[in-house]
Chains A and B, each alone.
Chain A
Amino acid sequence: MHQSVLDFERRRYLKIALALCAVSLVAYLWHDPRSPPNGGTWLGYTLGGLGAALILWLTALGVRKRTYTSTLGSLQGWVSAHVYLGLALLLVVSLHAGFQFGWNIHTLCYVLMVVVIASGLLGIVLYQRLPQQLSQNRAQQTSDQMLTELQELDERTRRVAANASPDEVLAIEANIAGTRIGGSTVAILSAQDRSTVRLPDGLAEAEANPGQARILEWLSARLSASDDAGRTRTLTDLVSLIGARRALLRRLQQDARLRGWLSVWLYVHVPVTFGLLGSLIAHVVSVFLYW
Chain B
Amino acid sequence: MRVLLRHITRTAAGTQSVREEWVDDTVITLGRSTDQRVQSNDTRLQLKHAELRATASGWQLVCIPPGQAVVNDKACRDARLAVGDVVTLGSLRLRVEAPTAAGEPQLSIERLPDTASAAVSAGAGASASATAPKLSLAELGWRKRPWAWALFLVTVLGGLLLPWAVGVPSDATWSSGPLHEAHASLEGRCDSCHVKPFQRVRNESCLDCHADHLRTHLPADHPATLQFMAQRCTDCHVEHDEPSHLVQTDNRVCTDCHAEPERHGGRPGAKPVTDFELNHPPFRLSSLRSEQPASQLKFTHAAHLDERGIKAPSGTVVMKCADCHTPTEEGGSFAPIRMETHCASCHRLDFDPAEPDRTVPHGDPTEVLRVLSGHYSARYLAGYADPLAGRTSTVLPPGVEVAPAERARLLGVARDRALRVATDLFERRACVDCHTVTRVGTAAEPAWKVMPVKLVSNWMPSAEFDHALHGTSLTPCSTCHKAETSKQASDVLMPPIETCRDCHRGTMKTACIDCHGFHGKGQPLWQPATPKAVLRKAAPP
Contacts and interface: CB of A to CB of B under 8 A. Distances in A.
Interface residues of A, number: 72
Contact of A100 (B125, B159, B176, B253): B176
Contacts of B149: 274
B173 A290 contact: no
Contacts of A277: 152, 155
A283 B140 CA distance: 35
B126 A151 contact: yes
Contacts of B172: 104
A240 B74 contact: yes
Interface residues on B, range: 35 or more
Interface in B170-226: 171-178, 190, 194, 197-201
A276 B133 CA distance: 35
A291 B126 contact: no
A91 to B, nearest CB: 20
Interface in B96-154: 115-116, 119-120, 125-127, 131-140, 142, 144, 147-154
A291 B176 contact: no
B43 interface: yes
B176 A104 contact: yes
Nearest to A159: B73
Contact of A256 (B66, B115, B135, B252): B135
Interface stretch (A4-12, A139-147, A203-211): A139-147
B173 A105 contact: yes
A156 B93 CA distance: 14
A71 to B, nearest CB: 27
Interface string A118-161: 00000000000000000000011111110111011000100110
Contacts of A106: 174, 176
B134 A183 contact: yes
A151 B115 contact: yes
Nearest to A105: B159
A281 interface: yes
B44 A141 contact: yes
B445 interface: no
Contacts of A289: 164, 174, 194, 197-198
A177 B133 CA distance: 11
Nearest to A184: B140
A40 interface: yes
B174 A104 contact: yes
A188 interface: yes
Interface of B: 43-44, 46, 66, 70, 73-75, 115-116, 119-120, 125-127, 131-140, 142, 144, 147-156, 159-160, 163-164, 171-178, 190, 194, 197-201, 236, 238, 241-243, 245, 248, 250, 252-253
Given A144-B125, A282-B155, 5 more contacts: A36-B242, A104-B174, A188-B140, A267-B142, A279-B156
Interface of A: 34-36, 38-40, 100, 102-106, 108, 112, 139-145, 147-149, 151-152, 156, 159-160, 177, 179-185, 188, 237, 240-241, 244, 252-253, 255-256, 259-260, 263-264, 266-267, 270-279, 281-283, 285-291
6 contacts: A34-B253, A151-B126, A160-B73, A256-B135, A278-B159, A286-B163
Name the 8 nearest CB pairs between A and B, nearest first.
A282-B159, A278-B155, A275-B151, A271-B147, A282-B160, A256-B135, A274-B148, A182-B135
